[in-house]
Amino acid sequence: MFRFRARLQAFAVLALMVAALGMLVPPAAAAQNSSAPERFFDTARAPKDLVRLVIFYPAPNTFRHLLALKAEGMLPIDNLEIVGVYHVKERTDYRESVRFVRDNKLANVHFHAVSAELGIASLYQANAASAEFRKIFDLSDGIIFFGGPDMPPAAYGEETDFRTVVENPYRHYLELSMIFHLLGGGRNPDFKAFLEDRPDYPVLGICLGMQSLWVGTGGTMIQDLWSEIYGKTTVEDVLALPRDEWHKNPYEMIAPHDPALAPYMLHPVRLLPESRVWKAMGPALDGYPLAASSHHQAADTPGKGFAVAARSMDGKIIEAIEHERYPHVLGVQFHPEFRKLWDPAPEFKIGPDDGALFSFRTLIEAHPPSFEFHKRLWSWFFETVRDGSRI
């Protein structure tokens, strides 16, 4: 009898421990463990009646930006299918993206979770993800790489500066290796780039995406532009610079509690007249378009095959790059996808002591050719994706 009671007590204690552990696991995490993430390309076929766009970093905000472009008429493809690709070891919780897609009834949006092991040593060569990369390329009509945090300097052969903050290494491993497979690179010149088979395939890199195009093909980065280029070591030093040289809002570092602070700085960029990509977008624009930026790093020594397409007004920062061999590969250091560019509501200020709020749309409309430039960029890219599709 004593042994039976002792066993009952042991089972009761065990049950309490299991219940306590269950309380420590959030319901969302439990749901993630109970259902495998979608792997769209495992069963996908070449699209017949759809144009298929692949996006890396398919976070909810990424979809919000794309929906805003659609509402503004800058995404002119009605039969667009989007596949968001990510690595299962990324720190972003893509379950929120799945919920966003479901709640907004976005029927033509899918996901593909990559689980192949990647690391610095395997990025620029055939690796465990190569076959998956090839399938993604073969079964799609274009790719966008979106913005994000600092990449590991080891990816371009340098040590890590104290001002570099690496938050999500597997995202960088995935995107850098995919870019290398797409375009080839100086770190492995004998590798045959996927685009050799489809040289008109469109690739757009935005902010981090541009930097990844640069590094993935063999380039290097300036890890902190304010200190390395402008010789400034404090936020107060940066505040004394002309605002054209603020490539992010420095007030975010000393007044992060203010929700009205603009998350991007609008500043003019100089489009180089010899650039092939701007010519493809239409007649030369008169003036310097404003662009929305938020970055503290900058492209340095070039990757294989890339030429500079735009610079900051002082010429010190590379603002856009184009591929010399593949005509529809473009990287921009700024954020043409930012949905607040199209919103007329005054919501933002630059500094905490500023008075009236402003809207990004009002500013770009008041500074031609800024609005026209953004319209041309998105029309060019999406028309290239649509016209190159195999419908």
pLDDT 10s digits, 315-343:
999 999 999 999 999 999 999 999 999 99
Alpha-carbon dihedral sign for residues 351, 354, 357, 361: negative
Domain assignment present for residue 139? The answer is yes
Domain assignment present for residue 16? The answer is no
* Residue-wise burial string across 130-147, b where 16 or more C-beta atoms lie within 10 A, e elsewhere: bebbeebbebbbbbbbbb
Distance CA 381, CA 168 (A): 28
Weakest mean pLDDT among 33-37, 164-168, 200-204, 224-228: 33-37
The mean predicted confidence, pLDDT, of the chain is: 91
Alpha-carbon dihedral sign for residues 243, 246, 249, 253: negative
Domain assignment present for residue 161? The answer is yes
Domain assignment present for residue 1? The answer is no
Give the contacts of 189 (CB within 8 A, at least 6 positions apart): 304
Q: What is the pLDDT of residues 104-144, one digit of tens each?
A: 999 999 999 999 999 999 999 999 999 999 999 999 999 99
pLDDT band at 146 (very low <50, low <70, confident <90, very high): very high
Write the CATH number for 191: 3.40.50.880
Per-residue pLDDT for 33 more than 70? no
Q: For position 27, what pLDDT does the model report?
A: 37
Per-residue pLDDT for 36 more than 90? no
pLDDT band at 7 (very low <50, low <70, confident <90, very high): very low
Note the pTM of the prediction, 2 decimals: 0.90
| Structural domains in the chain (count) | 1
Give me the domain span that covers residue 179: 22-387
Per-residue pLDDT for 9 more than 60? no
Domain assignment present for residue 5? The answer is no
Contact 264, 335 (CB under 8 A): yes
Domain assignment present for residue 147? The answer is yes
Share above pLDDT 70 across residues of the chain, in percent, rounded to a whole number: 91
Share above pLDDT 90 across residues of the chain, in percent, rounded to a whole number: 87
Per-residue pLDDT for 30 more than 70? no
Q: What is the pLDDT of residues 349-387, one digit of tens each?
A: 999 999 899 999 999 999 999 999 999 999 999 999 999
Q: Report which residue type is found at 89.
A: K
Q: For position 257, what pLDDT does the model report?
A: 84
Domain assignment present for residue 10? The answer is no
Q: Which of 279, 271, 268, 205 is nearest to 56 (CA)?
A: 205
| Long-range contacts of residues 36-43, Cβ cutoff 8 Å, at least 24 apart | 37/88, 37/94, 37/111, 37/113, 38/98, 38/110, 38/111, 38/112, 38/113, 39/112, 39/113, 40/83, 40/110, 40/111, 40/112, 41/83, 41/112, 41/132, 41/135, 41/136, 41/139, 42/112
Q: For position 390, what pLDDT does the model report?
A: 67
Domain assignment present for residue 111? The answer is yes
Q: For position 92, what pLDDT does the model report?
A: 97
Q: Report which residue type is found at 98.
A: V
pLDDT band at 29 (very low <50, low <70, confident <90, very high): very low
* Average pLDDT value for residue range 70-92: 97
Contact 244, 288 (CB under 8 A): no
Cα angle 160, 163, 169 (rounded to 5 degrees) comes to: 55
Per-residue pLDDT for 20 more than 50? no
Give the contacts of 187 (CB within 8 A, at least 6 positions apart): 124, 180, 218
Phi then psi for residue 390, to 5 deg, are -110, 35
Q: Which of 184, 218, 188 is nearest to 199 (CA)?
A: 184
Contact 225, 168 (CB under 8 A): no
How many residues can be counted in the chain?
391
SS3 state at 322: strand
